[in-house]
Amino acid sequence: MEALGEHGPSMEGIEVGGLRIELFHLYVIYQGTAPFKGARFPRGNRGLLLVLPPRIRHNASEWEVAMAPGVLTNYHTHCYLDDGSNKPEEYVRTAIASGMRALGFSCHAPLPFPQDWVLTKENLPVYIREVSGLKRQYADQIEIYLGLEVDYIPELAGPQSQSMRSLRLDYTIGSVHFVGGEENDIHLAVDGPPEEYLEAIQEGYGGDVKRLVRDYYRLVREMVAEQTPDIVGHLDVIKKNNPGGRYFDERDAWYRDEIMMTLESLAASGAILEMNTGGLARKRTDAPYPSPWIVSEARRYGIPMNVNSDAHSPEHLVHWFGEAKELLKSAGYREQLVLLGGKWQMTEL
């Protein structure tokens, strides 16, 4: 096994325990406590230093887990108390089985008007109790964090509202799910069923989708500037009801301008932009939030990102994570900003 380390980065592949590893990445495997002497990554190499404890060297199924680069985390998780399914503990068990290092729960915070997909005021303490209990119960196996996905609705709700701050959450995800219409006095969902979206365009914006989309991004910018959350949720969720460019084209100059302005305020705020794979898991989009071209622009603005699944059921907890990380890498990201050991820190993708 130690002979493996004698191969340099020019080698094309190795076979370990019957498992073929193609070396477009460089893998260095060592035994004992010191890294293999002379192992170096040449400049520009997309290499990955893979350190394996002896116990998993020959077990192919564990190899697969061990070979997933970077630390596995997810901070966007719902449950049976809002519009997700299953008890929080089932997510925790799935996360542990996936080799996840940290799992954050982020049910939808209660709203000041009735909606069936958010926590009720009565369920909020139940949620806090359940997640806090799991945090203690599984402390030796996984880091669990208590968060909420908080809607931004001007004057009514936001991640930095007094009621949210009083909960002493570990973190918040700030999301815009409603626009207010041009009269600004109604709450029109932008990510609901297609007929609701159409209704929002017609009743709130006189049939002009461009005005609705602009209003959505204006609210995201307002949220980021005035109620900065730790993570900005599903930045371009407005595309959920736009399959095949039915209502607007992301390549249009006006749309790009909205995105650029929004990224600019995000960069100024220091908030994290999530790559959210939930639309893909639920087959509502054919790309993650945000779209790949937006990820590239976010990179140019130096905006930190992390990968989240927006899981509404345990089986979606790490859906599309491998692809998401590759996408981030192809946009130039090398790290993601994650909550570990109680503080936000950069870890290798």
Beta carbon of residue 290, minimum distance to Fe ion (angstroms, whole number): 13
Stretch that binds Fe ion, among 37-45, 89-97, 156-164, 172-180 (CB under 5 A): 172-180
- Find the binding residues for Fe ion in span 226-245 (CB under 5 A): none
CA atoms within 13 A on the CB side of 105: 34
Rg, the chain, Cα only:
22
Cα separation of 5 and 106, whole Å? Answer: 43
CB 304 within 8 A of CB 263: no
Q: Which of 94, 175, 277, 309 binds Fe ion (CB under 5 A)?
A: 175
Shortest CA distance to 111 belongs to which of 181, 187, 172? 187
73-74 and 102-108 beta bridge pairing: parallel
**Residue of minimal CB distance from Fe ion?**
175
Which CB, 101 or 312, lies closer to Fe ion? 312
Q: Count interface residues toward Fe ion (CB under 5 A).
A: 1
Least distance (Å) between residue 48 CB and Fe ion: 32
Nearer to Fe ion, 175 or 313 (CB): 175
Nearer to Fe ion, 143 or 149 (CB): 149
Furthest-apart CA atoms within the chain: distance in Å = 71
Residue whose CB is less far from Fe ion, 52 or 176: 176
Closest by CA to 237, choosing from 308, 176, 187, is: 176
Site track 43-62 with Fe ion (rule: CB under 5 A), x = hit: --------------------
In this structure, are residues 278 and 312 in contact, taking their beta carbons and an 8 Å threshold? yes
How far apart (Å, rounded) are the C-alpha atoms in residues 209 and 254? 12
Name the residue nearer to Fe ion (CB basis): 144 or 235.
Answer: 235
Stretch that binds Fe ion, among 26-34, 60-68, 171-179, 202-210 (CB under 5 A): 171-179
- Give the residues lining the site for Fe ion (CB under 5 A): 175
